[in-house]
Amino acid sequence: MPMGHPPPGTYDTPHFDLHFYTITSAERDAITPADPSYGDKLERAPEPSLIPESYLPAPDGIPRMGRHWFSTLAPESNGQPFTRTLLYGFYDGRQIFIEPMVTRAFLETRQNVTEIIQQPAEYSTPGFHPRLYAVEYDAAAAEHRIVLRDFVQRD
């Protein structure tokens, strides 16, 4: 996102959005206003047990993504500049992705950080779910990595 994206004053700085989906590409591609149920599916709230405690929905949905949910505990939700964060994505009442976001400016610092991912009580999809995400710089490879870690099996 070379110019960032809404909301203004929060995520409008150059950054990378990395979506880790739990649905197929075909399911993702079907999230479109061409679906007559698109609006209803965007508005269908997940069960409270599927939402991490401090998360709230963004006002609008996005085709191929659904609705983003953000943490009210994140620094950018509390008057601090956005450097890195983690969002959840929901569509039709299901969690369909998690999304680490990191600014270009933060990557340029070449810092290595590991953050705890706030967990919901339950998941829409059983399987292995990460408890941590990391932003890393590997000097030997001259590359940045944004990774999910510490997976636990959840039913």
pLDDT digits (tens, 9 = 90+) for 63-92: 999 999 999 999 999 999 999 999 999 999
Has residue 8 been placed in a domain? Answer: no
Q: What is the mean pLDDT of the chain?
A: 94
Residue 84: how many other CB atoms lie within 10 Å: 21
Over residues 86-118, the pLDDT tens digits come to 999 999 999 999 999 999 999 999 999 999 999
Has residue 132 been placed in a domain? Answer: no
Q: What is the DSSP letter of 92?
A: T
Residues 6 or more apart in contact with residue 138 via CB below 8 angstroms: 144, 145
Has residue 60 been placed in a domain? Answer: yes
In whole angstroms, give the CA distance from residue 149 to residue 152: 9
Has residue 155 been placed in a domain? Answer: no
CA 144 distance to own-chain centroid: 18
Place of tokens 């000097």: 139
Has residue 141 been placed in a domain? Answer: no
- The residue among 130, 102, 106, 127 whose CA lies nearest residue 116 is 130
Has residue 72 been placed in a domain? Answer: yes
Q: Indicate the number of domains in the chain.
A: 1
**Given this model, what pLDDT does residue 4 score?**
77
User: Which range marks the domain in which residue 54 is found?
Assistant: 15-111
Whether the model clears a pTM of 0.85, i.e. scores above it, the answer is yes
Has residue 134 been placed in a domain? Answer: no
**Given this model, what pLDDT does residue 7 score?**
79
